[in-house]
């Protein structure tokens, strides 16, 4: 049986093989790498589609281990790992934060409703206060008007002192009437102001009256 020689593509060792090993693989006795023998022995011509297909499959079979060998023999894996570790740590932290956020955000938050003490009479007190304050202001206007009338009546009486007794009597009666009106206006103001202060009013309207 004829024998042929084939060189190992990794270490160059010459390996003898027979026709039965054509297209097959074996380990190199020198470097232990996988060696694929030619599909046709050297010197034979005529290739068919089947042989070409077998050659392509055989090439793909030994190319994969060669790629793995390159990765395993890569000398700078330490540098690659040193560069990749910080990114792996950051990715793990982000994944943990996302998980915690998703877990706790799904739970409904307990809503605490503040307890507010409402005075049932608050609206009525506010209404009464507003009415009392408006009454005080109205009594102030009445008191000012009564004081003005009393002042005018007093001036008129002074002017009629030299007149006849009838005019003087009428002037005296007018002064007496305006004084009564002034006294009544002052009393109404006092009552309105006292009620306003009892309800909690803090404005001193009496001090605002210059004529009191």
Residues 34, 66: Cα–Cα separation, whole Å = 9
CB 23 within 8 A of CB 58: yes
What share of the chain has pLDDT > 70, as a percent? 71
* Side-chain-side CA neighbours of residue 128 (13 Å): 12
Is 171 domain-assigned?
A: yes
Residues 93, 8: Cα–Cα separation, whole Å = 50
Is 141 domain-assigned?
A: yes
Query: What are the tokens at 57?
Result: 């499959």
Is 9 domain-assigned?
A: yes
Is 37 domain-assigned?
A: yes
Model pLDDT for residues 138-171, shown as the tens digit of each residue: 999 998 999 999 899 888 888 877 767 788 888 8
Pair 138, 65 in one domain: no
Is 41 domain-assigned?
A: yes
Residues 188, 193: Cα–Cα separation, whole Å = 9
In which region does residue 100 sit, left (phi positive, over 0), alpha (psi from -120 to 50) or beta (all else)?
Answer: alpha
The pLDDT of residue 111 is 58
Pair 68, 146 in one domain: no
Is 32 domain-assigned?
A: yes
- Mapped onto helix, strand or coil, the DSSP state of residue 70 is helix
Pair 66, 129 in one domain: no
Residues 169, 119: Cα–Cα separation, whole Å = 60
Enter the pTM of the model. 0.43
Pair 143, 67 in one domain: no
Given a cut of 50, is residue 49 above it in pLDDT? Answer: no
Give residue 41's domain range: 3-72
Is 23 domain-assigned?
A: yes
Higher pLDDT, 57 or 200: 200
Query: What are the tokens at 197?
Result: 């202060």
Q: What is the count of structural domains for the chain?
A: 2
Least confident of 68-72, 122-126, 205-209: 68-72
Per the prediction, the chain carries an average pLDDT of 77
Is 112 domain-assigned?
A: no
Residues 206, 197: Cα–Cα separation, whole Å = 11
């Amino acid at each position: 049986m004829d024998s042929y020689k084939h060189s190992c593509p990794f270490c160059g060792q010459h390996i003898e093989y027979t026709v039965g090993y054509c297209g097959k693989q074996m380990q190199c006795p020198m470097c232990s790498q996988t060696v694929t023998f030619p599909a046709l022995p050297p010197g034979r011509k005529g290739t068919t589609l089947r042989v070409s297909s077998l050659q392509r499959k055989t090439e793909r079979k030994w190319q994969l281990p060669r790629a793995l060998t390159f990765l395993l023999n890569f000398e700078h894996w330490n540098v690659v790992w040193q560069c990749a570790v910080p990114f792996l740590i950051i990715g793990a932290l982000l994944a943990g934060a996302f998980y915690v956020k998703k877990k706790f955000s799904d739970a409904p938050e307990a809503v605490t409703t503040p307890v507010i003490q409402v005075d049932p009479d608050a609206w009525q007190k506010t209404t009464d206060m507003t009415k009392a304050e408006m009454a005080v202001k109205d009594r102030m206007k009445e008191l000012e008007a009564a004081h003005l009338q009393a002042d005018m009546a007093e001036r008129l009486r002074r002017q009629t002192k030299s007149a006849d007794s009838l005019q003087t009597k009428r002037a005296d009666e007018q002064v007496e009437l305006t004084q009564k009106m002034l006294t009544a206006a002052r009393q109404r103001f006092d009552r309105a102001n006292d009620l306003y202060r009892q309800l909690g009013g803090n404005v001193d309207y009496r001090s605002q009256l210059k004529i009191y």
